[in-house]
Amino acid sequence: MAKTTTPAQVAPDRNARRREMYAQNDEYRQKQIEASRKTYRDERGVEMFSCLDRLSDLDSYGERRTAILRDATGSEILRLEHELTFTMRELAELLGYAMPVVYRWKSRGLLPAPLAYSLITILKGKCAPYDTWATVYLEGEVEEIVKIIGTHQQSVRYFRTTDTETIDALKDALAAVRDKRYGVEI
């Protein structure tokens, strides 16, 4: 008499084979990841977005402010008048993410912290506006951030600690622009 198998008995073997292929075959793994992303986007109606389209329109996201760069002792090393600067909120809007997401990137080391300070006006509820010092990204830094994150966004919507190539590219690009454009070595 032939032994019959039920679907419940076949599934664990099939899943085990799939997990093994996923672990050993890079091409199969990439194919499965792309299929999963496509299904996610299709089911939820998520459009792939890239902030590269906004690169030519930076002025509408940031503000021209006086920016001050300080060294480790707090001494002013560079003052830039009427420089296009971006707070964390303005950068998040430009990149197409919520501000807590971009702030989390910075706190986790995915995004290098800004070096410049600027006096910004805070408008909160019904309270009177007040001025406070905040760290800001400079125009050259933001151009590089948008180029790198935008390129990353063309293939992947999220940005994680495992995206080491993008993280390293951000660190290198910001160090280079800070050195060449602003004369500040990190």
User: For residue 184, is pLDDT > 90?
Assistant: no
pLDDT digit string (tens) for 84-102? Answer: 999 999 999 999 889 999 9
- If you write DSSP's letter for every residue of 31-45 in order, what string do you get? HHHHHHHHHHHHHHT
Q: Distance between CA 137 and CA 112 in Å, rounded?
A: 10
Which is more confident, 167 or 12? 167
pTM here is 0.72
Q: Average of pLDDT values for 8-28?
A: 81
User: Would you mind telling me the total number of residues written for the chain in this entry?
Assistant: 186
Asked whether residue 127 is assigned to any structural domain, the reply reads yes
Q: Which of these, 73, 103, 76, lies nearest to 88 by C-alpha position? A: 103
Domain span at residue 34?
Answer: 10-43
Does a structural domain hold residue 186? no
pLDDT band at residue 21 under the 50/70/90 scheme: confident
**Residue whose C-alpha is closest to residue 147's, from 126, 166, 125:** 166
If asked whether residues 30 and 85 sit together in one domain, one would say: no
**Same domain, yes or no, for 161 and 92?**
yes
Residues 73 and 156 in one domain: yes
Domain-embedded: residue 162: yes
Q: Give the pLDDT confidence of 55-89 residue by residue, as tens digits.
A: 999 999 999 999 998 877 878 888 999 999 999 99
Query: What CA–CA distance (Å, rounded) separates 163 from 151?
Result: 13
Specify whether 32 is located in the same domain as 106.
Answer: no
Contact yes or no for 174/180 (Cβ under 8 A)? no
Strand partners, 80: 67
Query: Are 130 and 74 found together in one domain?
Result: yes
Please enumerate in sequence order all residues whose Cβ is within 8 A of that of 123, keeping only pairs 6 or more positions apart, or say none: 129
